Amino acid sequence: MKAVKKMKSNSWDVEKVRADFPVLSQTVNGKPLRYLDNAASSQVPQTVIDRGAKYLREEHSNIHRGVHYLSQHATTAYEAAREKVKRFINAREAKECIFVRGCTEGVNLVASSYGRKFVSEGDEIIVSQMEHHANIIPWQMLAEEKGAKLRVIPMNERGELIIEEYENLLNERTKIVTVSHVSNSLGTVNPIKEMIATAHKFGVPFFVDGAQSVPHFPVDVQDLDVDFFTFSGHKMFAPTGSGVVYGKREWLDKMPPYQTGGGMIRTVSFEKTTFAPIPEKFEAGTPAIAANIGLGAAIDYLNSIDFAAAARYEHELLEYATEKLSAIEGVRIVGTAKEKASVLSFTIENVHPHDIGTILDQSGIAIRAGHHCAQPVMQFFDVPATARASFAFYNTREEVDVLADAIQKVIEVFA
Ligand SMILES: *Cc1c(COP(=O)(O)O)cnc(C)c1O
């Protein structure tokens, strides 16, 4: 037996929590499922499944437009989910929380709408080197369209943003800064509160891609003083198709609609259309009603557990896994920032990450292999791809042990 550091937390009953997630008790290829792909999509607890089923069985109807019983019932449930989102991220008002399909749509909404109004030729947009493609391309397209320029905050060899360089990039031409709270390819937790304060000194609004932070620790948008914040439901124990973009009212009120159509207008004539106030202004057409009610149920679930204890447990699990994998000869950890969450990216000498993923799958272990929609990160570390294990609070030390053993076997096979 290898010597391993003892887990400090005993306040977290992981087996009890696992029982809430029916998918986890499956076998895959004759082996118990070891689900370590939470950064791509997390699993859904029974309470969220039940809430979605209840909606479909008893409440399914279009919202906001009907006077009949079912429509009013669905509207109430949908707006209750918005209230839950508001409390979950501590927004000032529920109206500042716009439902979108996910993080990708959240970025596109703000880049398109804020960009149309506030970005012009010669302006600058600051992104970071560790962004997911979803938080690069919409800004890049905007910059091309407007004749604006993308400036990039570089990172160091550990995968940490170089803050002095960031401060040098800010100037009177900067129109927005956009950075991920937690990197999906490296696990780095960025010091966004300080970065936001710096941007505000220049009067520049700050957008945060929170896809990888909200599932792993509590987030308070007022405390961060962030101007825009987006996340996906499916990475925080809710169904796909749910998600939120939060924006401060002072910005959202000034921004034009993103998509247009039904549900977002005040009056329409062929001469002129006037728009509804937020959030409806940004929610054209029939939204993902069932999915967003499911997101509300996922938030209820997080409120029913001790989320702070979950975060501590998960962090210790990440440290345990880091220690275990670092001890294996031939394994290189990619992303060694001091502040990390959930994600453990690695490579094995002379083995392509896709082969690692395929071999681990035979042992029932689900990890991800690829560029993780972050090709600039792969270019920086000079690797074509990495293998990535990513954790949630329902993962166990035993799963980490199985992962480490399977990696050892991969190395033996290819040796
Ligand atoms: C997953 C992810 C996205 C994209 O989210 P979708 O749910 O695919 O829209 C964006 N940024 C980060 C950091 C992510 O992890």
Question: What are 277-289's pLDDT values in tens digits?
Answer: 999 999 999 999 9
Q: Looking at residue 65, what is its pLDDT?
A: 76
Instruction: Map out the domains of the chain with their CATH numbers.
Output: 9-43+306-413 (3.90.1150.10), 49-303 (3.40.640.10)
Q: Looking at residue 10, what is its pLDDT?
A: 58
Question: What are 177-230's pLDDT values in tens digits?
Answer: 999 999 999 999 999 999 999 999 999 999 999 999 999 999 999 999 999 999
For residue 106, how far is its CA from the centre of ligand 1 (angstroms)? 10
Asked if residue 101 has its Cβ within 6 Å of ligand 1, the reply is no
Task: Tell me the two tokens of residue 159.
Answer: 């995968």
Helix 289-304 with 69-89: angle, nearest 10 deg: 50
Q: Looking at residue 1, what is its pLDDT?
A: 38
Ligand 1: residue whose CA is nearest its atom 2:
211
Q: Looking at residue 66, what is its pLDDT?
A: 79
Ligand 1, residue 102: give the atom nearest the CA: 9
* Residues that are catalytic: 373
For residue 61, how far is its CA from the centre of ligand 1 (angstroms)? 29
Asked if residue 104 has its Cβ within 6 Å of ligand 1, the reply is yes
Name residues of the chain where pLDDT drops below 70: 1-10
Which of 108, 212, 219 to mutate for ligand 1's pocket (most ligand atoms within 8 Å of CB)?
Answer: 212
Asked if residue 132 has its Cβ within 6 Å of ligand 1, the reply is yes
Q: Looking at residue 204, what is its pLDDT?
A: 98
52 touches 296 (CB < 8 A): no
Q: Looking at residue 382, what is its pLDDT?
A: 95
